Amino acid sequence: MTALFDFHGVRIAKQGTVILRDVTGAVPEGGLTVIAGRSGAGKSTLLRLCNRLDVPNGGVVRFRGTDLAGVEPRSLRRRVGMVFQRPALFAGTVRDNLRVADPDAPETALEEVMERVELDRGFLDRVGDELSGGEGQRVCLARTLVTGPEVLLMDEPTSSLDPGAVRTLERLALGLTRHGVPMLWVTHDVAQLRRLADHLLVLEDGRLVFAGPSDDPDVPAALARLGGDDS
């Protein structure tokens, strides 16, 4: 079966610093794959390769069997949506923010995507500055969902949220994966990893040191390599 993403000998170096070192591994179709590792291990860089926000200096990244080097980035990013570490809302209302992603989306589609992130349709008229961090991040998720992505990339999306907002976003993520939207989620939080992961990639110093299902017997040893980042 074709993998969702696969990496073959992927290397990235920036300004003389090696970030990823000959990474070879695969992300399976379906479910939620967590990319874990200590700070600086290369987690976010590996994630950003999946929608060409970063490109490798060597090796190949494939999406459902297609080499991403030949895929136009803008069209790819509509298929492979991304939510970043901190909520980043544009000026204007929530409706304005959603229409940035799809200017032609009908009102019914905007209302539907708000329901998917458990926000009342009345939020469409709210201004971004009025929202809490958790609400803002859910709007960012809704904005990503407007384009109907095939995959979601989540780059430590709960790192700036309070515990209640963290659990809400985690619940939404699990619901989306159950309804057929595969997801890659970056974290260094082992407790969160255990709540979310169907599949796990562990990076250490730019190297992929484990790839497999979350119930693999080698997972405890892989997580032990995260050391003090078990938060």
Taking residue 81's Cβ as centre, other Cβ atoms within 10 Å add up to: 23
Question: Do the beta carbons of residue 29 and residue 2 sit within 8 Å?
Answer: yes
Question: Do the beta carbons of residue 208 and residue 22 sit within 8 Å?
Answer: no
Distance CA 177, CA 22 (A): 29
Q: What is the pLDDT of residue 225?
A: 81
Q: What is the pLDDT of residue 128?
A: 87
Instruction: Give the sign of the dihedral formed by CA 105, CA 108, CA 111, CA 116.
Output: negative
Q: What is the pLDDT of residue 2?
A: 79
Using CA atoms, how far residue 41 sits from 23, 34, 203, in Å, is 12, 14, 6
Give the rounded distance of the alpha carbon of 16 from its chain centre: 27
Secondary structure (3-state) at 25: strand
Distance CA 49, CA 80 (A): 11
Distance CA 231, CA 227 (A): 10
Domains and CATH numbers, the chain: 5-65+72-229 (3.40.50.300)
Place of tokens 């993403």: 5
Distance CA 151, CA 148 (A): 9
Distance CA 217, CA 150 (A): 30
Distance CA 134, CA 92 (A): 18
Which amino acid appears at position 84 of this protein? F
Using CA atoms, how far residue 62 sits from 49, 55, 193, in Å, is 10, 12, 25
Q: What is the pLDDT of residue 89?
A: 92
Q: What is the pLDDT of residue 141?
A: 97
pTM for the full predicted model: 0.93
pLDDT of the chain, 231 residues: tens digit per residue: 679 999 999 999 998 899 999 999 999 999 999 999 999 999 999 999 999 999 999 999 999 999 999 999 999 999 999 999 988 899 899 999 999 999 999 999 999 999 999 999 999 999 988 999 999 999 999 999 999 999 999 999 999 899 999 999 999 999 999 999 999 999 989 999 999 999 999 999 999 999 999 999 999 998 888 874 433
Q: What is the pLDDT of residue 88?
A: 87
**Lookup: tokens for 65:** 């069997």
Q: What is the pLDDT of residue 87?
A: 87
Q: What is the pLDDT of residue 1?
A: 65
Q: What is the pLDDT of residue 180?
A: 94
End-to-end CA distance of the chain: 35
